[in-house]
Amino acid sequence: MADERDLRGTERSDSGPPGSGYRGALGLDDPGLLQDQITEVTMRAIEAEGLQDLQPVDRGGYGVVLRAKDRLTGNRRAVKVALAPEGADGAGERLAERMQIFRRECRILDAKELPAGIAPRFYGAREPQGSQAFLIQEWIDGQKLSDWLNANATLPMLKREQVCRAIFATYARLHASNLMHRDVSLGNIMITANTVRLIDFGGAGRAAAGYVSLNTMSRVPATQAFCSGPVWRGERKASLADEVHAVAKVCFTVLTGELAASYSTTAERRGVMKRAGCGRDLMGLLLPRMEDPPLQLAMQSMVQEI
């Protein structure tokens, strides 16, 4: 736990489920639009795992996220259901890619080296015959960082700096276990009452020195605004240094409300941070890490399949 103080900035800022800021764009104002994509056989298979009150609340990288309640304990759970891709062109190949992401997420969530309290707790996965595959995980009571920023537009700089330090501390714990998230974005970082959690581990992997072949691990969706140039252009696989680069850019947005990618030089970014009132120590931490990491540094810890 990075800090015992409330990270959310308000007494109860998580007024909706994670992803609530995108309800209109995702069709979540009409949950039936997502519910219709899940077959009755799948819903029965999920209920057979002891879950009830299934409600679609978000759209993930490879499917739909349901909120559910454990029938015995009453605890809430998140259920991620893998969906077949829309459209006929290359559907088989795209489905295979989605299932690769689904199974990778299951492996990483179940990995013994994954530090406790970073990712959602894993309760198992199923690929029943005739049903859509799904995994069951802990429901994290909080907000996606994107929604948190929308809800706290006037938050004082000290609180923003506190959140940035908590984000860095969370990724530092993950990296200390030789693991990489590989999908750093405002939508994959959760702000809870007193800590930062990470979600969507379908692209995660293990760091390995000099593991340079681009063919040894598939590319995963990334957010261009936070991705380093060489990784976005497909010139090399992601590394721990590239992930720290992305985290620094996310923190720039938390502190300033702007995207680091909108500014081409360190001097311009420094000016934006100064005008926002950022502390000198955080500026010293973030600014050099927003430069693209050199290949020599990246080769010390490139991602490989877990």
- With beta carbons less than 8 A apart as the criterion, state whether 244 and 164 touch: no
Could you list the mean pLDDT of each consecutive 10-residue stretch along the chain, which spans 306 residues? 47 32 37 71 96 90 91 97 74 81 94 94 95 96 94 92 96 94 94 93 84 54 88 89 97 96 96 96 96 89 76
Residue ranges of alpha helices (H) inside 180-239 are 229-232
- With beta carbons less than 8 A apart as the criterion, state whether 99 and 133 touch: yes
Residue ranges of alpha helices (H) inside 32-118 are 32-35, 40-47, 91-109
What pLDDT sits at residue 58?
86
Q: CA-based diameter of the chain, in Å?
A: 58
What pLDDT sits at residue 277?
96
- In angstroms, the CA 122 to CA 104 distance is 13
- With beta carbons less than 8 A apart as the criterion, state whether 113 and 179 touch: yes
Class (C level, CATH) for 143-304: mainly alpha
According to DSSP, residue 92 is labeled H
What pLDDT sits at residue 297?
87
Q: Give the DSSP H or E segment for 164.
A: helix 157-176
CATH architecture of 20-138: 2-Layer Sandwich (3.30)
- In angstroms, the CA 135 to CA 105 distance is 9
- With beta carbons less than 8 A apart as the criterion, state whether 59 and 33 touch: no
Question: In sequence order, which residues have a C-beta less than 8 Å from that of residue 216 and are 6 or more positions away?
Answer: 237, 304, 305
Which residues make beta-bridge pairs with 136?
79
What pLDDT sits at residue 3?
43
Among 85, 82, 65, which Cα is nearest to 126's?
A: 82
Predicted structure pTM score: 0.85
According to DSSP, residue 239 is labeled B
- In angstroms, the CA 10 to CA 117 distance is 22
What pLDDT sits at residue 211?
55
- With beta carbons less than 8 A apart as the criterion, state whether 306 and 205 touch: yes
Sequence ranges of the domains in the chain: 20-138, 143-304
According to DSSP, residue 264 is labeled -
